[in-house]
Amino acid sequence: MSIKARKQALAQALQDQEEMVRAAASRALDRVEGLERLDEIGRTAREGDIPLRIRAIHFLGYLNTSEAVESMLAFLQDPNPDIRVSTIKAIQTKTPDRALIPLFACLDDPDASVVQVAIETLSYYRDPRATEFIIPYLTGSNAETACVAAEALGRNGDPSAEPHLIRVLNESDDPFLRSKAAEALGNLNPNSPETSDP
C-alpha cells in the first residue's frame, strides 16, 4: 500500500462517527504526512533558526524511523547546546537502542544542561550500563547534576545503585541531594533472589 492510499484511508477515517477513531486517524495522518516529508523535515532540522530546528528535531523523534534516528544522532554533535538538549529530549520519547552509546558520549559534554538531560534520558533505558554511567554523577561538583543523577537512578530502578544512594544519603551535605537519594532508594526494584541479603 502506498503512502497516498494510507492518507486517503486515514482522511476518510477522520469522518468516522466514533471520536476515538477520528483521534487515532488524526495522529496517524500526522505521522504519515511526516514520513512523506522526511527529507524536508531533516533539512529544517539542520538549517534555519533555532526554534524551527527544535520543532523539526522533535518531529523526527516522533517519527522514529531509522533515517530520523540517524539524523538525530548527528545533532548530538551540534555546536548549539539547545539543539543538543532538544535532540536528547526527542530521543527520550522512543529510546532507540542505537542512541544508547551516543548518549553515553553526551555525558562528557561541556554544557551541564546537556549532561543533565542525557542522564535523565539514560534512566529510561533498562540497560545496566546506564546505571554504571550515571553513578559517578552522584558525587560530582555540580549539585544540580547530582540531584538529576539520583532521580535518574530511582527512575531506572536498578538495585545495583543502592549502596551509592545510601552513601549519598548518609554523607552528603546537600539536603536536596539527600532527599533525592531517599526518594530514589524507595523507587529501586527489589534485589533478585540470588543477590539479596540472606
Question: Does residue 20 form part of some domain?
Answer: yes
Question: Does residue 5 form part of some domain?
Answer: yes
Question: Does residue 10 form part of some domain?
Answer: yes
d(CA 118, CA 49): 23
Question: Does residue 162 form part of some domain?
Answer: no
What is the pLDDT averaged over residues 46-50?
A: 92
109, 82 contact by CB (below 8 A): no
Q: What is the pLDDT of residues 136-186, one digit of tens each?
A: 999 987 999 999 999 999 999 999 999 999 999 999 999 999 999 999 999
DSSP 3-state of 147: helix
Domain that holds residue 30: 1-36
Question: Does residue 110 form part of some domain?
Answer: no
pLDDT confidence band for 1 (50 / 70 / 90): low
Question: Does residue 101 form part of some domain?
Answer: no
Structural domain total, the chain: 1
Provide the whole-model pTM: 0.82
Model confidence at 195: pLDDT above 50: no
Question: Does residue 30 form part of some domain?
Answer: yes
> Residue 179: is it exposed, middle or buried by C-beta count within 10 angstroms (0-12/13-18/19+)?
middle
Question: Does residue 120 form part of some domain?
Answer: no
Mean of pLDDT over the chain:
91
